[in-house]
Amino acid sequence: MKLAYLTEVAAIMSAHGRLFIEQPGEVSTEDIGDYYVLSRNRFNRWMKDLSELERSQQFNDRRHVVKKVAGRQTTQTIVEQILINEMISRIWTVLLLARDAHNGIDRIRPVARNIFLGHLAVRHKALSVILTDDGISSKDLLAIEQLRKSTERWTDLLCCSIMGQYDLWEYAFNKDRALEFLHDRGDQTGLSHRSTSWVLILAGMRHSFPDTEGLAAPVHDDDRRLVQLMLNSFPENAPEMTFWMGSRVRAAKQG
């Protein structure tokens, strides 16, 4: 599975968020535990890689602490991974908290918020490291900045309806922008697998996140297992979700 495909997973989960939020029963303790462990492992891996990159910059030692995509700087590669994965991480956090709110409980929130704050720390460190890496060209810095802006805008667009319904605006990248998206898309609550809006959204995302260059890199095993856990938490054989899944997302669901 390529890194770019994670953005399509994010869109599909958001489009069918209510199937997850309103389904009967609770998220299993086992799934919550797996989500925590996989996320913790990923957090530790990213922090270790970023810390080593920081040290290598200080001593002008250009070691490759993560597997490098051909022709790309190591720092750029890991920052791209973190920014793309944050789309899924933030959308999943919103869905988990909305499910708690829908059921009138406070069961998942502590774990979900802890993981969310960890990802914020990783993001902050990653952006700090890339800004101090003199091996990154100005062109590559601009590409990272564009990727950051794209992931933020798309995430706010995808999450705005659920954040509005369950008052989860603190999880927006930009609350004012997310509110504008919500007001502009007043039909979002009535979406179905026949929705023209989502056809356009998916097309727009594939244009914004093409599976070329850094986004053509394969996802890490932790990321793949997290995606599988998330997709398998939706109702089985939901026709709306099945309709939207292309072969590449269906393969991620099956592991």
Alpha carbon separation from 175 to 157, 164, 165, 172 (Å, rounded): 11, 10, 14, 5
For residue range 155-205, what is the model confidence (pLDDT) as tens digits? 999 999 899 999 999 999 999 999 998 887 655 554 455 667 777 777 888
Report the alpha-carbon distance of residue 80 to residue 84 in Å, rounded: 6
Domain ranges of the chain: 5-254
Q: What is the mean pLDDT of the chain?
A: 84
CA distance 10 to 146: 19
pLDDT bin (cut points 50, 70, 90) of residue 132 is confident
Q: How big is the chain by its Cα radius of gyration, in Å?
A: 18
CB of 182 closer than 8 Å to CB of 164? yes
**String of DSSP letters for 106-127:** -SSHHHHHHHHHHHHHHHHHHH
Least trusted range by pLDDT, from 32-36, 122-126, 236-240:
236-240
